[in-house]
Amino acid sequence: MLILSAILLALLFAITAALARSYHSREQGLAAEWLQQGNTDLRAGKPTRAFEDFRNSLLYDPENPDVQLHLAEALLADGRFTEARSYLLNLWDRAPGSGQINLDLAHASMNTGEVDQAIRYFHGAIFGSWEKDPAIQRRNVRLELCEFLLSHRMTGEAQAEIAGLAGDTPAEDGELREENGRLFSRAGDPAKALSEFEAALHGNPRQGQWLAEAGQAAFDAGDFLKAETYFSGADRQKPSDEIHVSLLLVRDVLSNDPYMPGLSDDEQASRTVRDFKRGLERLRDCTGTGTSSSLSGSSSSSSSSSGPPISELENLRKEAQELQKRVNLFSVGKNPEMRDEAMGILSRIEESTSSGCGPVTSIDQALKMIEKRHQGNNP
Amino acid sequence: MSDRDTPVEETPLPAKVEEVPATNARDLGLKWLGSRARALTLSEGNLFLLLAIIIGLFSGMAVVCFRIAIEWVRLGLLGSALAPPRLRVLLAPTAAGLVVAFLVQKFFRGARGSGVNQTKAAVYVFDGYVPFRTVIGKFLTCSIAIGSGQSLGPEDPSLQMGAGIASALGRRLKLSRDKLRLLAPVGAAAGLAAAFNAPISAVLFVIEEVIGTWSASALGAIVLAAVSSAVVMRSFLGGEPMFRVPAYTLAHPAELIAYAVLGVVSGVLSLVFTQIIVYFRPKLRALPDWTNYFQPAAAGLLIGLVGLRIPQSMGTGYPYIDQALHSQYTWQILAILGFAKILTTSLSFVSGTPGGMFAPTLFIGAMIGGAIGGLEHQFFPQVSASVAPFALVGMGTFFAGFMRVPITSVFMVVETTGSYSIVLPVMISNTIAYLISRKYQDMTLFDILAKQDDLELPSMEEQREQIVLRVEDAFRKPDFPPLQAGDTLARALEIAETSTEEVFLVRFPTGRWADIARKDLPAMALAHPKETHLREILTSARLPILHPDQRLDDALRFIQGHALLPVVGRAGSRKLEGVLSLPDILAAYQKAS
């Protein structure tokens, strides 16, 4: 009986094995067919159909991580983030170091508003493994993370990521350097942005766009000399109204800034008196043209529709006229505090007259910027 | 070393062998072979265990073929997509219903229904006999029915097929009736283990629902059969768990409240599902016999109509459970799927279409669980996690309420998902569902179905719940302290005069007990001097002893031939706790009934 059982077992084993082989082969064929169909649909921008295809493929090859990943990506493309996340978490459990899975999870988390999770998965993707072009993939992920952080106003974290990005960027790759510079500018770190633009220009010093960006970064960093140099270069290489205006503004700052290092006391005093007078003229123009009727009328506390309140301008004018009696080349030259006081009033005048008092000229902008920069340096 | 190099001449032959005649040498050889053969001969117990492994191998392969057959039929009738073309959705289950009904009515009447009760009937009614024709019938009809989209599962039929294979092998080996009876559950466990890829759950289910006891003789064979069957299945179809589930962690103990709610809802819905089946099944069976040819087709047509809108409600539904476990449906959709499946499964089952209830039960549970989870998450996001863990827990919970196998249901969730972390919510939820189901419905579904089929099968649940009478419920304190072995015959006569007892117990210092009947005392007094110690008279007498915690059934066996037995504590057999007589036992039974 045992022998008969053994023969029967062998026979049944052979039949089962043949059936199983044939079935598995059919399954593999169907899985591949549906996977291909899904990829085609995904490429054609039909994520819903692609999702169905991948799901069918998964029916025949349920453990295939590629199909699961495709399915999750189709769900992401279809805006079904919670479902995608569920599949991706399953995949992540098995391959926590996969760059692609981490990136997809970051996308899912971004879209479900889980910022911390998204950052965590972005980092997982940056330090994860990538099958093709790992360096490029990691850079792209980091760029995306920077964009994400900037969009969430997390500038401190963004700056750290951009610094990491810059650290991994080859010195000779001007385009990537320029990209880093732009990110630094957006993250509010113009000094590092300037450094990146300069590194980019090192290999291609006549690139107009990069010159303009370097000029702007230098301007934002308060390095007007460099700004003038780069804007001048940009104006030559790639002239545009915008660059030209920026150049004029920089030049106005350079020629009017009494705080510019290296100036003699006389030059500082001369610039201060000139700037102050210019401010007074601006104030006079403003109160004399836009608000003459109001000034003589009774409603002194009212304001024009778009300008500052008349009383404020009137008070400012009185204050400035009072100061004018004391501001001259001699007093300013002898007394730096007088210079600061004059420039302080000037700043308030420019601030108050920036709207509703006619067009703001380049010199007005320059004066405003000079004082602002000075206040920034001496809080 | 070559033959040429062998020093033949130098090899000394034993002198005795040279001396004995050739015929004696042959006899000796035969004797030796005979002794070796006897050593190799298996005892019945070992043969039974070997047979269990063979049953497991056969059942495993049969189930593999069965599952492949279902898939082939599905591919042929419904196509390879999860959402089949509309015409096929309508026609496939209808046409298959006709074919299946014809096969069942003409050739395989035993293939009708789920298979669990048939296996129980084989054990308790037919001395372990399951016709092999039923195995073939189950294989064919269930493949067609399930593959065509009828809302049934392959697990219960696999269980019956395993039992049938085991029964056939047992009959071939001409095993005793007791062993044959035991073989059917062994095969059932093997079939179920392969169908579910869950050997622990299979063993537990067979113990909880088919044999009802943890008998050591059966357990070894059942475990071996289930393991060998699962190994075969995994080697052919892969060892991955049936469902792939996302990682789960219990974030806060308050989540358990949400799972308790799931337990309540699942318990109530399992009652509803049971009542639908229990109500409609006899109604359809009462129809004229010729309608049996058309009932599965009519059910198939209705299922197809439902399937046009809700294709997920057709077939086993396993791929959709997987989707629910990955939060692919909103709670509203999950609720619709759950109720649709209750409808389609009821249609399939009450129409007599062969197939099992396990898979649909898991489907319904997953969908209802997911729906409850989604609903709770919407209103109490701080208490409830995402949908997926609720779907997972829901599977086991509904199964516990519907099948009334609480332990199996817990292990089933763990085994089919490979996730142990979910076990706490599963335990809580399952217990609640089970208790609700028990409270509002006295009998289990299988017991009701058996009654409808005019079978009086033992209810495993009732057996588990039966009050066991113990010796402590029946014994009484003796009127007098027992006699000591060192007491004299005179002392025994003295006590007999003042006591009404007919039998007196005698205690020996070694813990041995003996007895003296009142009627024997006069004869003893004539035969021995009155100063004779009792130990000298009762030299070989020995009474069985009982302990208070022993079952009264066991006491009945020991009391044969004795008027009174001593009941002693387990801590020391010399201390008499009480005495027990046959009238005491009968009085206890009478009182309990």
Q: Which of B209-218, B281-290, B390-399 has the lowest mean pLDDT?
A: B209-218
Residue of B174, B327, B378 for testing the chain A interface, max A β-carbons within 10 Å: B327
Q: What is the DSSP letter of A262?
A: T
Q: What is the pLDDT of residue B401?
A: 94
Can you tell me the distance from the alpha carbon of B361 to that of B445, in angstroms, rounded to the nearest whole number?
13
In a domain, A129, yes or no: no
3-state secondary structure of A361: coil
CB < 8 Å from A in window 26-65 of B: 54, 57-58, 61-62, 64-65
Whether B44-237 and B471-592 share one fold: the answer is no
Can you tell me the distance from the alpha carbon of B444 to that of A186, in angstroms, rounded to the nearest whole number?
70
Question: Quick check: B14 pLDDT over 50?
Answer: no
Binned at pLDDT 50, 70 and 90, residue A292 comes out as very low
Q: What is the pLDDT of residue B3?
A: 40
Q: In this complex, do B81 and A89 lie within 8 Å of one another by their Cβ atoms?
A: no
User: Which residues are CB-contacts of A193 (< 8 A; sequence separation ≥ 6)?
Assistant: A180, A181, A182, A183, A184, A185, A213, A217, A220, A221
Binned at pLDDT 50, 70 and 90, residue B253 comes out as confident
- Mean pLDDT, residues B368-375 taken together: 92
Higher pLDDT, A10 or B466: A10
Q: Does B420 touch chain A (CB under 8 A)?
A: no
Q: How many CA atoms lie within 13 A of A199 on its CB side?
A: 22
Among candidate residues B399, B404, B405, the one with its CA nearest the CA of residue B363: B399
Q: In this complex, do A86 and B326 lie within 8 Å of one another by their Cβ atoms?
A: yes
Task: Answer yes or no: are the C-beta atoms of A286 and A317 closer than 8 Å.
Answer: no
Q: What is the pLDDT of residue A300?
A: 40
Q: In this complex, do B328 and A1 lie within 8 Å of one another by their Cβ atoms?
A: no
Q: What is the pLDDT of residues B50-86, one digit of tens each?
A: 889 999 999 999 999 999 999 999 999 999 998 899 9
Among candidate residues B403, B421, B322, B301, the one with its CA nearest the CA of residue B367: B322
CA-CA distances (angstroms) from residue B191 to B49, B300, B448? 17, 27, 24
Contacts of A62 in chain B (CB under 8 A): 240, 244, 322
Which ranges in chain A belong to alpha helices (H)? 2-43, 47-60, 65-77, 81-94, 99-111, 115-127, 134-151, 155-168, 174-186, 190-203, 208-221, 224-237, 241-256, 265-285, 292-296, 310-324, 329-334, 336-352, 362-377
Contacts of B48 in chain A (CB under 8 A): none
Q: What is the pLDDT of residues A196-207, one digit of tens each?
A: 999 988 888 888
Instruction: Output the six-digit token pair for B133.
Output: 């024709």
Q: What is the pLDDT of residue B2?
A: 39
3-state secondary structure of B475: coil
Task: Answer yes or no: are the C-beta atoms of A313 and A291 closer than 8 Å.
Answer: yes
Taking the domain B44-237, which CATH number applies? 1.10.3080.10
Q: Which of A213-217, A233-237, A305-309, B1-5 has the lowest mean pLDDT?
A: B1-5
Task: Answer yes or no: are the C-beta atoms of B455 and B125 closer than 8 Å.
Answer: yes
Task: Answer yes or no: are the C-beta atoms of B156 and B356 closer than 8 Å.
Answer: yes
Task: Answer yes or no: are the C-beta atoms of B145 and B314 closer than 8 Å.
Answer: no
In a domain, A175, yes or no: no
Question: Quick check: A298 pLDDT over 80?
Answer: no
Binned at pLDDT 50, 70 and 90, residue B39 comes out as low
Q: What ipTM was assigned to the predicted interfaces of this complex?
A: 0.72
Look at the block and give the residue holding tokens 């791929």.
Answer: B319
Q: In this complex, do B247 and A26 lie within 8 Å of one another by their Cβ atoms?
A: no
- The single-letter code of the amino acid at B38 is R
For A62, the closest chain B residue by CA position comes to B244
CA-CA distances (angstroms) from residue B358 to B100, B151, B216, B462, B547? 20, 11, 27, 22, 44
Q: Does B75 touch chain A (CB under 8 A)?
A: yes
Question: Quick check: B17 pLDDT over 60?
Answer: no
Strand partners of residue B569: B572
C-alpha distance from B65 to closest chain A C-alpha (Å): 6
Q: Is B22 exposed, middle or buried (0-12, 13-18, 19+ CB in 10 A)?
A: exposed
Q: In this complex, do B57 and A9 lie within 8 Å of one another by their Cβ atoms?
A: yes
Q: What is the pLDDT of residue B432?
A: 96
Question: Quick check: A293 pLDDT over 60?
Answer: no
State the residue range of the domain holding A365.
Answer: 265-288+308-377
Q: What is the pLDDT of residues B438-468, one digit of tens each?
A: 999 988 898 899 888 888 777 777 776 677 8
Residues in chain A: 379
Task: Answer yes or no: are the C-beta atoms of B131 and B107 closer than 8 Å.
Answer: no
Q: Does B386 touch chain A (CB under 8 A)?
A: yes
Strand partners of residue B565: B580
Q: In this complex, do A16 and B61 lie within 8 Å of one another by their Cβ atoms?
A: yes
Q: Does A26 touch chain B (CB under 8 A)?
A: yes
Residue of A35, A59, A112 for testing the chain B interface, max B β-carbons within 10 Å: A59
Q: Does A89 touch chain B (CB under 8 A)?
A: yes
Question: Quick check: B345 pLDDT over 90?
Answer: yes
3-state secondary structure of B14: coil
Q: What is the DSSP letter of B572?
A: E
Torsion angles phi and psi, residue B506, rounded to 5: -125, 130
Range ranked top by mean pLDDT from A273-282, B146-155, B571-580 = B146-155
CA angle B124, B127, B128 (to 5 degrees): 90
Q: Does B381 touch chain A (CB under 8 A)?
A: no
A33, A56, A93 member nearest B247 (Cβ): A93
Domain residue spans of chain B: 44-237, 255-291+304-463, 471-592
Q: Does A30 touch chain B (CB under 8 A)?
A: yes
Q: In this complex, do B386 and A86 lie within 8 Å of one another by their Cβ atoms?
A: yes
Q: In this complex, do A87 and B326 lie within 8 Å of one another by their Cβ atoms?
A: yes
DSSP string, B243-268: S---------TTHHHHHHHHHHHHHH
In a domain, A124, yes or no: no
B58, B245, B386 member nearest A12 (Cβ): B58
Q: What is the pLDDT of residue A333?
A: 76
Q: What is the pLDDT of residue B418?
A: 79
Contacts of A16 in chain B (CB under 8 A): 61, 64-65, 236
Higher pLDDT, B371 or A362: B371
B72, B236, B327 member nearest A86 (Cβ): B327
Can you tell me the distance from the alpha carbon of B408 to that of B402, in angstroms, rounded to the nearest whole number?
12
A20, A59, A80 member nearest B64 (Cβ): A20
Task: Answer yes or no: are the C-beta atoms of B184 and B167 closer than 8 Å.
Answer: yes
Can you tell me the distance from the alpha carbon of B142 to that of B150, in angstroms, rounded to the nearest whole number?
9
Q: What is the pLDDT of residue B358?
A: 92
C-alpha distance from A80 to closest chain B C-alpha (Å): 9
Contacts of A1 in chain B (CB under 8 A): 172-173
Contacts of B314 in chain A (CB under 8 A): none
Contacts of A82 in chain B (CB under 8 A): 327, 386
CATH topology of domain B471-592: CBS-domain (3.10.580)
Binned at pLDDT 50, 70 and 90, residue A377 comes out as low
Q: What is the pLDDT of residue A118?
A: 93
Can you tell me the distance from the alpha carbon of A22 to that of A19, in angstroms, rounded to the nearest whole number?
5
SS (H, E, C) B349-392: HHCCCCCECHHHHHHHHHHHHHHHHHHHHHHCCCCCCCHHHHHH
Q: Does A93 touch chain B (CB under 8 A)?
A: yes
Percent of chain B at pLDDT exceeding 70: 91
Task: Answer yes or no: are the C-beta atoms of B356 and B154 closer than 8 Å.
Answer: yes
- The single-letter code of the amino acid at B571 is A
Binned at pLDDT 50, 70 and 90, residue A378 comes out as very low
Can you tell me the distance from the alpha carbon of A192 to that of A205, in angstroms, rounded to the nearest whole number?
18
Instruction: Output the six-digit token pair for B207.
Output: 């113990």
Q: Which of A65-69, A261-265, B319-323, B357-361 has the lowest mean pLDDT?
A: A261-265
Instruction: Output the six-digit token pair for B445.
Output: 């579904």
Binned at pLDDT 50, 70 and 90, residue B23 comes out as low
Contacts of B71 in chain A (CB under 8 A): 23
Contacts of B244 in chain A (CB under 8 A): 62-63, 90
Q: In this complex, do A23 and B65 lie within 8 Å of one another by their Cβ atoms?
A: no
Contacts of B172 in chain A (CB under 8 A): 1, 4
In a domain, A270, yes or no: yes
Higher pLDDT, B41 or B335: B335
Q: Does B85 touch chain A (CB under 8 A)?
A: no
* CATH of region B255-291+304-463, choose from 1.10.3080.10, 3.20.20.450, 1.20.1250.20, 1.10.3720.10: 1.10.3080.10
Binned at pLDDT 50, 70 and 90, residue B561 comes out as confident
Taking residue A323's Cβ as centre, other Cβ atoms within 10 Å add up to 17
Contacts of A94 in chain B (CB under 8 A): none
Q: Which of A69-83, A248-262, B148-162, B181-195 has the lowest mean pLDDT?
A: A248-262
- Mean pLDDT, residues A237-254 taken together: 87
The strand pair at B513-517 and B572-580 is best described as: unpaired
Q: Does B521 touch chain A (CB under 8 A)?
A: no
Residue of B59, B63, B68, B228 for testing the chain A interface, max A β-carbons within 10 Å: B68
Among candidate residues B348, B270, B271, the one with its CA nearest the CA of residue B307: B348
User: Which residues are CB-contacts of A192 (< 8 A; sequence separation ≥ 6)?
Assistant: A159, A162, A163, A166, A184
Can you tell me the distance from the alpha carbon of B278 to that of B448, in angstroms, rounded to the nearest whole number?
7
Cα–chain center distance at A323:
43
3-state secondary structure of B219: helix
User: Which residues are CB-contacts of B526 (< 8 A; sequence separation ≥ 6)?
Assistant: none
The strand pair at B503-507 and B483-484 is best described as: parallel
Q: Which of A6-10, A244-248, A304-308, B405-409 has the lowest mean pLDDT?
A: A304-308
- The single-letter code of the amino acid at A10 is A
Residue of A5, A76, A85, A91 for testing the chain B interface, max B β-carbons within 10 Å: A5
Pairs across A and B, CB distance < 8 A: 78
Q: Does A11 touch chain B (CB under 8 A)?
A: no
Question: Quick check: A228 pLDDT over 70?
Answer: yes
User: Which residues are CB-contacts of B358 (< 8 A; sequence separation ≥ 6)?
Assistant: B153, B155, B156, B195, B196, B399, B403
C-alpha distance from A27 to closest chain B C-alpha (Å): 9
Task: Answer yes or no: are the C-beta atoms of B115 and B138 closer than 8 Å.
Answer: yes
Q: Does A16 touch chain B (CB under 8 A)?
A: yes
User: Which residues are CB-contacts of B111 (< 8 A; sequence separation ≥ 6)?
Assistant: B103, B104, B134, B137, B138, B140, B141, B142, B354
In a domain, A81, yes or no: no
3-state secondary structure of B503: strand
Domain count, chain A: 1
Percent of chain B at pLDDT exceeding 90: 44
Strand partners of residue B507: B484, B513
C-alpha distance from A185 to closest chain B C-alpha (Å): 41
3-state secondary structure of B567: strand
- Mean pLDDT, residues A95-123 taken together: 92
Question: Quick check: B228 pLDDT over 90?
Answer: yes
